Chains A and B, each alone.
Chain A
Amino acid sequence: MEQYLELLFKDYTLQIITVGTAVLGALCGVLGSFAVLRKQSLLGDAISHASLPGIALVFLILGVKDNNGLLLGALASGLISAVFIKGIISKTHLKSDTALGIVLSTFFGFGMLLLTYIQKLPNANQSGLEKYLFGQAATLLASDVWLMVAITTISVAIVLLFWKEFKIVLFDADYTLTLGFNVKWVDTLITSLIVVAIIMGLQTVGVVLMSAMLLAPAAAARQWTNSLATMVFLAGLFGAISGVVGTAISASANHLATGPVIVLIATGFVVFSFVFSPIRGLLFKQIKLWKNRNDLKLMKTLSFMYEIVKTHDNISHPHKIQLLNNFQGYTKKSLKKLQSEDLILLNKSNWSLTEKGYQVAKNLYSHQES
């Protein structure tokens, strides 16, 4: 750890990469929140795969490995694929999963065709193209990172500017339409922003893992809140932390690709959130289940006592604990619990209902009836 910090202060390249992955993680988290809530989680996967032919075509036409040019090609091809996906879903009876699968695989296949064609060309200088498949954070240059910072700033500004529109389209598109908003336009804007973020991340985490970059922080953030603003903020934070921590781990160990490590860290956030989130988490749900089950047992014991007591004139008349043996649900602990809640009184081997306990037990059933 100390070694890494020392390295971070000295090594300019590491600083650049860290900033890059942090910014990328933050932007992916922010935009991923919209993708997850719009049920477009796998759109990212399809678009990142579909960007390959764009990259290859730009290289084929321009013959140079100019980074920004390649990114523009990827962007164009990503947007075209998004249009295709929409066209297939809206015009045919094929469902969105099939549309995504078709576009993802055929675009990627076409990209493969072009890439292998390029490799056979005499001026093949394509070694760098493969980094888009798996991503190589180590190849990030300062200029790349500045571009990422600029894109992120613009995207976040757009999100803030159109916050109201994004939010309302997200939760009730039909209502938005009746209010006179141009839903189609807002829709296109969100999708385009997501495509831009995906393309930006290709170089760092690669085609395959890009979808996780988009989803994981948002899915983790979703577990902690029901408010969109908090979710977007948390997702951005989780994304950035995943980027920084992932870069740190892969920098301090040999032979560890950055992309997969970042994705695993982000997945770690998801697992942690799934289990420990106080609102929706699995652990708390389980605890609640146990608690409910115990409460039910206590109330059953109480109502059994009530059935015995109600035939007597004096409700506080003590009864032997053995009387309860017909009823399997009680333990010493549960009786003590009932006493601590002032529902019964224990006296050596006798128990008696208190006034409060009598009323509670009486109302148990009347509640159900009403």
Chain B
Amino acid sequence: MNAQIEIQIILSLVAIACAIPGVFLVLRKMSLISDAISHSILPGIVVGFFITQDLASPLLILMATLTGVVTVVLVEYIQKTGLVKEDTAIGLVFPSLFSIGVILISRNAGDVHLDVDAVLLGEVAFAPFDRWMWNETDMGPKSLWMMGTVLLLILTLLLLFYKELKVATFDAGLAASMGFVPMAIHYGLMTVASITTVGAFDAIGAVLVVAFMIVPAACIYLLTDNLKKLLIYSSVLAVVCSLVGYWFASVWDTSIAGTIASVLGLVFFIIYLTAPGKGYFSQWYKEKQQKTEVALLVFLLHLANHDEEQERNINHLQEHINWGAQRAKKVLKLANQNNMIAIENDIISLTNKGLDFTKQAIAYISDNKNSELEGVKQRFFLFRG
């Protein structure tokens, strides 16, 4: 197999293996745990490397995974004491573990061929050179086998515990009452996140594991709320971005992981701006629409409250409610289009429909139930006539 194809297969495996736990991390609001784990596995890797002298040995992976789990346990312990908030707990634990790792490396700089850069930044381009020889036969790159195993493990666990994960993620209380143990699921997920991070670090580096885990899930989460779709599309997006990033990186001769993270960032930015219903533009439009709706309500209430013709004169209104000419015209037009008002000799009065709408709106305001306003809007076909 040629090296380029091997690299792309490894990248795809890493992408899927990161995207799946990433979905749950994003949903459980624990995205930054991946950041913490990816940094704090350093001392585990260092100690494991001292013993085995091999970055792909199972012992090293075991030790590093343990360090990752220890990080989570420590963060949770500190959190439980109530002395500091959760985010502070994360921010305290991983830099200190990372520092221990850095010091361990620098104290033994002479004996170890291990660089902090290598752990933090990784380099997938070297992966095809580290091959697994078995009975003198070339079985392919070690990291291909390792990531394949990790991915297989993740997929098996996902299929076995899909229902439990789903319930525990969206309603921990319900999960507990159904007899699942939310704590077991939580720590299981954390262990999987650690294993994935450890498996992926020498391909893409500890920092960019965060990008691989969080960004695909965050992108798709802006587009759908369905967990199955989230898992599938995140994996697909992660693989596509990885391959696109890989090719850009080979053209520009730049860091592969860095380029993939940049592609992921760009994709997120585009989705962030344009996602229907949840993106920047549609939020902006929604807020604008809400402003107009509120203005319309204020306008109609004003009309309902005043019988005097002078108060309802079209020219007087603008200064009375203190709106700019542009805004006043827009609201007037909207009300007119919806047959809420009738204009006669520059005097505005509410139509029967307008009167009805105002009454219901007042009822809504005094109850302040969100769902009711939606109902009112539906009934009067606001913004459609």
Chain A residues proximal to chain B, CB less than 8 Å: 36, 39-42, 44-45, 49, 87-88, 91-95, 97-98, 100-102, 104-117, 120, 130, 133-134, 208-209, 211-212, 214-216, 219, 222-223, 255-257, 259-261, 263-264, 267, 270, 274, 280, 282
Chain B residues proximal to chain A, CB less than 8 Å: 26, 29-32, 34-35, 39, 78, 81, 83-85, 87-88, 90-92, 95-96, 98-100, 102-103, 106-107, 109, 116-117, 120-121, 205, 207-208, 210-211, 213-215, 218, 221-222, 249, 252-255, 257-262, 264-265, 268, 272, 275, 278-280, 283-284
Min CB gap A251→B, angstroms: 14
Given A108-B208, A112-B261, A222-B84; A97-B221 close (CB under 8 Å): no
Min CB gap A172→B, angstroms: 17
Q: In whole angstroms, how far apart are the Cα atoms of A193 and B253 in the complex?
A: 37
Partner of A94, one of B78, B84, B210, B221: B221
Whether B81 lies near A274 (C-beta < 8 A) is yes
Q: In whole angstroms, how far apart are the Cα atoms of A95 and B283 in the complex?
A: 16
Whether A110 lies near B261 (C-beta < 8 A) is yes
Given A102-B214, A117-B254; A41-B87 close (CB under 8 Å): yes
Given A41-B87, A104-B35, A274-B81; A110-B102 close (CB under 8 Å): no
Whether B255 lies near A216 (C-beta < 8 A) is no
Q: In whole angstroms, how far apart are the Cα atoms of A257 and B98 in the complex?
A: 12
Q: In whole angstroms, how far apart are the Cα atoms of A209 and B96 in the complex?
A: 8
Whether A106 lies near B92 (C-beta < 8 A) is no
Whether B258 lies near A256 (C-beta < 8 A) is no
Q: In whole angstroms, how far apart are the Cα atoms of A110 and B210 in the complex?
A: 14
Whether B207 lies near A255 (C-beta < 8 A) is no
Given A105-B215, A109-B211; A41-B88 close (CB under 8 Å): yes
Partner of A110, one of B34, B78, B213, B258: B258
Chain B residues whose C-beta falls within 8 Å of the C-beta of A130 in the assembled complex: 117
Q: In whole angstroms, how far apart are the Cα atoms of A42 and B88 in the complex?
A: 7
Q: Which residue of A lies closest to B110 (CB)?
A: A255
Q: In whole angstroms, how far apart are the Cα atoms of A202 and B195 in the complex?
A: 30
Q: Which 3 residue pairs are nearest across A and B when measured between Cβ atoms?
A: A109-B261, A106-B265, A112-B258
Chain B residues whose C-beta falls within 8 Å of the C-beta of A102 in the assembled complex: 211, 214-215, 218, 265, 268
Q: In whole angstroms, how far apart are the Cα atoms of A42 and B33 in the complex?
A: 11
Q: In whole angstroms, how far apart are the Cα atoms of A88 and B34 in the complex?
A: 19
Whether A106 lies near B91 (C-beta < 8 A) is no
Q: In whole angstroms, how far apart are the Cα atoms of A260 and B99 in the complex?
A: 4
Partner of B106, one of A106, A115, A223, A256: A256
Q: Which residue of B lies closest to A218 (CB)?
A: B88
Whether B31 lies near A100 (C-beta < 8 A) is yes
Whether B98 lies near A209 (C-beta < 8 A) is yes
Given A106-B264, A211-B91; A93-B278 close (CB under 8 Å): yes
Q: In whole angstroms, how far apart are the Cα atoms of A154 and B205 in the complex?
A: 38
Whether B257 lies near A208 (C-beta < 8 A) is no
Whether B103 lies near A261 (C-beta < 8 A) is yes
Min CB gap A95→B, angstroms: 5
Given A109-B208, A282-B81; A92-B261 close (CB under 8 Å): no
Whether A107 lies near B96 (C-beta < 8 A) is no
Partner of A112, one of B96, B213, B222, B257: B257
Given A104-B210, A106-B211, A106-B262; A94-B218 close (CB under 8 Å): yes
Whether B208 lies near A112 (C-beta < 8 A) is yes
Whether B207 lies near A105 (C-beta < 8 A) is yes
Partner of A45, one of B35, B83, B120: B35
Q: In whole angstroms, how far apart are the Cα atoms of A260 and B104 in the complex?
A: 10
For A91, A114, A117, A270, which residue has the most chain B Cβ atoms within 10 angstroms? A91
Chain B residues whose C-beta falls within 8 Å of the C-beta of A93 in the assembled complex: 221, 278
Min CB gap B213→A, angstroms: 8
Min CB gap B11→A, angstroms: 14
Chain A residues whose C-beta falls within 8 Å of the C-beta of B85 in the assembled complex: 36, 39, 41
Given A42-B91, A116-B254; A92-B35 close (CB under 8 Å): no
Chain A residues whose C-beta falls within 8 Å of the C-beta of B83 in the assembled complex: 219, 222-223, 274, 280, 282
Whether A92 lies near B32 (C-beta < 8 A) is no
Partner of A263, one of B87, B96, B117: B96
Chain B residues whose C-beta falls within 8 Å of the C-beta of A223 in the assembled complex: 83
Given A91-B283, A106-B215, A110-B258; A209-B95 close (CB under 8 Å): yes
Chain B residues whose C-beta falls within 8 Å of the C-beta of A39 in the assembled complex: 85, 87
Given A109-B264, A209-B98, A264-B100; A215-B92 close (CB under 8 Å): yes
Q: Which residue of B lies closest to A109 (CB)?
A: B261
Chain B residues whose C-beta falls within 8 Å of the C-beta of A209 in the assembled complex: 95, 98-99
Given A109-B260, A264-B96, A267-B92; A219-B84 close (CB under 8 Å): yes
Whether A95 lies near B29 (C-beta < 8 A) is yes
Q: Which residue of A lies closest to B209 (CB)?
A: A105
Partner of B32, one of A94, A97, A255, A263: A97
Whether B95 lies near A255 (C-beta < 8 A) is no
Chain A residues whose C-beta falls within 8 Å of the C-beta of B34 in the assembled complex: 101
Min CB gap B105→A, angstroms: 9
Q: In whole angstroms, how far apart are the Cα atoms of A44 and B261 in the complex?
A: 20
Min CB gap A27→B, angstroms: 17
Chain A residues whose C-beta falls within 8 Å of the C-beta of B210 in the assembled complex: 101, 104-105
Chain A residues whose C-beta falls within 8 Å of the C-beta of B214 in the assembled complex: 98, 101-102, 105
Min CB gap B27→A, angstroms: 9
Min CB gap A80→B, angstroms: 12
Min CB gap A245→B, angstroms: 14
Partner of A260, one of B102, B207, B208, B211: B102
Min CB gap A101→B, angstroms: 4
Min CB gap B117→A, angstroms: 8
Chain B residues whose C-beta falls within 8 Å of the C-beta of A36 in the assembled complex: 84-85, 88
Whether A92 lies near B283 (C-beta < 8 A) is yes
Chain A residues whose C-beta falls within 8 Å of the C-beta of B39 in the assembled complex: 208
Q: In whole angstroms, how far apart are the Cα atoms of A260 and B109 in the complex?
A: 15
Whether A42 lies near B90 (C-beta < 8 A) is yes
